[in-house]
Structure 1
């Protein structure tokens, strides 16, 4: 089974694909889809949707997973995140791929063992769980963590 993990963001959406064979996980691919901050909102959202659609076409995941939405202190940031998330999830919907959502604390707990883990700890565990994987950046690392958590949680979350 292939799981596509997604870390939506308007500026840079991370993605990661892992293969699950029983209890064994392996890295397939990962990357980041960046948008031009000076481009109009609609154009940026189109870049995200098209980018995720390309990843889906290239890797044909069985399902996808994303962190549940959270509210920032800044309402504008929350709105931008929600719009980016909508574009990313729409790409999954067009491809008829189920998207499972998990709370950020649950993702950290599934990957590191504690829901209070920081990004550094998550990235360190990725090296242990996916040895040899070259991670494209922090957003791709977060997306791989979501995919791994989904594999461990079996859809709970």
Structure 2
């Protein structure tokens, strides 16, 4: 089974593609889609839509996992993330990919065993679980892989 994890963001969208076969979980690819701040928001969203659609075509997932929107103090940034989530949901629906959403605490709990784990603990655990040589950078990529891993644990 192929699972894609998404950490949505307007400036940077992290993605992680993993393959789960019985008890073996392996990374397929991971990275970050970046959009420039100086272009129109609609152009940025179209760029993300095209990138996500291309990712779905290259690595057709059976499941998509995405971080639930967490409202912080910066409402402007939350609005941008919300728009990106809409674009990702649209692309997933067009590709008939089921989407499951997880809170940051659910991801931490599934990956480390503690919903209070810090970012470093989560990053170290995904590095070990996926047999990576180093922590994926930037943080958005590591977050996306942890979201995909969370989904694989929940599916079991």
So what's the TM-score if we normalise by structure 2? 0.94
Equivalence map 1:144-155=2 (5 Å): 144-154=145-155
Distance (Å, rounded) in 2 between the aligned partners of 1:136 and 1:116: 22
Counterpart of 1:17 in structure 2 is 17
Counterpart of 1:141 in structure 2 is 142
Q: 3-state SS of the aligned residue for 2:66?
A: strand
Distance (Å, rounded) in 1 between the aligned partners of 2:42 and 2:81: 14
C-alpha deviations, 1:74-120, integer Å up to 9, x for none?
22121111011111221111111111111110101111111111221
Distance (Å, rounded) in 1 between the aligned partners of 2:15 and 2:132: 17
Contact 1:30 1:136 in 2 (8 A): no
So what's the TM-score if we normalise by structure 1? 0.93
Q: 3-state SS of the aligned residue for 1:5?
A: strand
Contact 1:65 1:99 in 2 (8 A): yes
Counterpart of 2:26 in structure 1 is 26
Counterpart of 1:2 in structure 2 is 2
Distance (Å, rounded) in 2 between the aligned partners of 1:111 and 1:57: 27
Larger mean Cα displacement after TM superposition, 136-145 or 28-37: 136-145
Q: Runs (4+) of structure 1 moved beyond 3 Å?
A: none
Counterpart of 1:88 in structure 2 is 88
- CA RMSD in angstroms comes to 1.4
Distance (Å, rounded) in 2 between the aligned partners of 1:133 and 1:63: 26
Counterpart of 2:40 in structure 1 is 40
Distance (Å, rounded) in 2 between the aligned partners of 1:122 and 1:150: 14
Contact 1:25 1:130 in 2 (8 A): yes
The runs of 5 or more residues in structure 1 that have no matched partner are none
Aligned residues: 155
